Every structure is written in C-alpha cells, then in structure tokens.
Amino acid sequence: MVSFEMNDRKKIGLGLTGFGIFFSFLGIIFFFDKGLLAMGNILFISGVTLTIGLKSTMQFFMKRQNFKGTISFGVGFFFVVIGWPIFGMILEAYGFVVLFSGFWPTLAVFMQRIPILGWLFQQPYIRSLFDRYRGKRVPV
C-alpha cells in the first residue's frame, strides 16, 4: 500500500529531485556542461528513489512498456558521462517523455487548475489539443 504521508525520507527525496532538475537546467544553460548534467542526473535518480522507494523505482523502470524509455535514459546518461552531452541529453529527453507519458494527462488537468494557466488552457484551440491528445473526437 502506498503511503501519502510526508516523512523525512520523502522530503529529502523531493529536494534531491528538485536539485537534479535545477542542475540539469543549469547544465543545458551553460552549453551542455557535462559535469552539471551528470550531477543533475544522479540527483534526479536518487531523489526519485528516495521519494517513492527502491522497490517502486525498480518496478517502474523495469515495466515492460517502460523498457524503451529506461534504455534510452540509461544510454543517454552514459553518453553524458563519457563526454557527449548533446547526444546524451537528446536520448535522455526521449526516455523521459516515454517513461512519464502516462503522467501527461494528469499534468494537464493539474495545469488547468492553476489560476492564470487554467484560463489559458480553457481557450478553445488549446482545449481542442488536449481533447485530441486524450483521444476524444473533436471536429477540426
């Protein structure tokens, strides 16, 4: 059973995940600095592991439908470490999108509830994009 209480381990995990995203962002801003990108990757993976637990992390990355994302994320991380940061980040970005593709509809619903962004996402054109992504038939 999943526990939704916020204990110290989860707080540290969320902090590490946030720092991982921040270091990855800095690595991209500073012209794909491989040190910052590698640090960001390590912090992100360790933060996710601390947040949801080792067993859940292994189950998530080892799911059959997540193999493409896991392999591309891992190979991208390897390329960042050996010194090919641009190619590595492209592979990691693809792996990230494939791995977390199940969360995009949840993220879209969350973003629609944010005050200013919610109004923007309620506009007809953008709403039709969301509906098309969810698989609803929308007249063009």
The one-digit pLDDT tens for each residue of the chain (140 residues) are 555 678 999 999 999 999 999 999 999 999 999 999 999 999 999 999 999 999 999 999 999 999 999 999 999 999 999 999 999 999 999 999 998 888 877 877 787 788 888 888 788 887 787 777 666 544 54
In terms of domains, do 43 and 17 share one?
yes
Tell me the residue range of the domain where 123 lies.
Answer: 103-133
In terms of domains, do 73 and 129 share one?
no
Residue 48 lies in a domain: yes
pTM of the model: 0.74
Using alpha carbons only, give the angle 89, 92, 96 rounded to the nearest 5 degrees.
135
Q: Considering its fold, how many domains does the chain have in total?
A: 2
Which of 82, 17, 68, 79 lies closest to 44 in space, CA to CA?
17
In terms of domains, do 75 and 126 share one?
no
C-alpha span between 86 and 75 (Å, rounded): 13
Residue 138 lies in a domain: no
In terms of domains, do 58 and 46 share one?
yes
